[in-house]
Amino acid sequence: SYLHYGLLAARAEILKVEDGSGNYCILDGYHGSYKYGDDTYDASASPLGTSYVKCREAAVKALRVDEPTCTHMKCTFGGVWNGGGGDGQKNLFVASFFFDRAAEAGFVNPKAPFATVRPSDFEEAAKRACEANLKEAKTTYSNIGEENLPYLCMDLVYQYTLLVDGFALEPWQEITLVKQVRYGNHFVEAAWPLGSAIEVASSAD
């Protein structure tokens, strides 16, 4: 969990990348605004339409993959420590919006507690989503709420970019998406306040 790099925060960062002439990550046909915290951003599709390639470029910029201010031995993006890497990264568990978007995009079972996928699954889903306009997406992705649908291309592109460019995973590496974890004889919802905990601990004197 990385504070400030969650999906909702990432939307704001990607919207800030463009100069106000529309965003290549927003589904064609949508014109609106996006509020995150105290700030509101223009969230309108580019006049040239949605573009997976251009959206990837914006996501990489927003993620600050080449951030030079790394104060640790190993960094991922934005000068953030990568957790040490090692064998643990070969058995990666990913939760929250990753599972939700994968289920909404149709490549995992929404009723399953977990699923094994690859980053390339997010890439393929992103390309399909970015090819659809808002009207088409309402039919294809009828299970997605109206407040999230215009951002489907953006969300999937960001998630793929975070995994491959941010965490340097291979596109074909298997990862586990987690919706629920087993606790005794029951499954409980997976929640990760770790990013907030790291932020508090890092800022402590």
Task: Tell me the domain boundaries of the chain.
Answer: 7-203
The ranges of the chain with pLDDT < 50 are 1, 72-73, 79, 81, 84, 194-195, 198
Question: pLDDT tens digits for 27-42?
Answer: 999 999 999 999 999 9
Alpha-carbon gap, residue 49 to 186, rounded angstroms: 46
Supply the pLDDT for residue 85: 53
Supply the pLDDT for residue 72: 47
Q: pTM of the predicted model, to two decimals?
A: 0.82
Does 7-203 carry CATH code 3.30.420?
yes
Supply the pLDDT for residue 167: 85
Which run of H or E residues covers position 50? Answer: none
Residue 59 makes CB contacts below 8 A (sequence gap 6+) with 10, 14, 25, 154, 157, 158, 161
Supply the pLDDT for residue 90: 66
Comparing CA positions, the residue from 183, 174, 176, 193 lying closest to residue 93 is 176
Supply the pLDDT for residue 194: 47
Supply the pLDDT for residue 195: 47
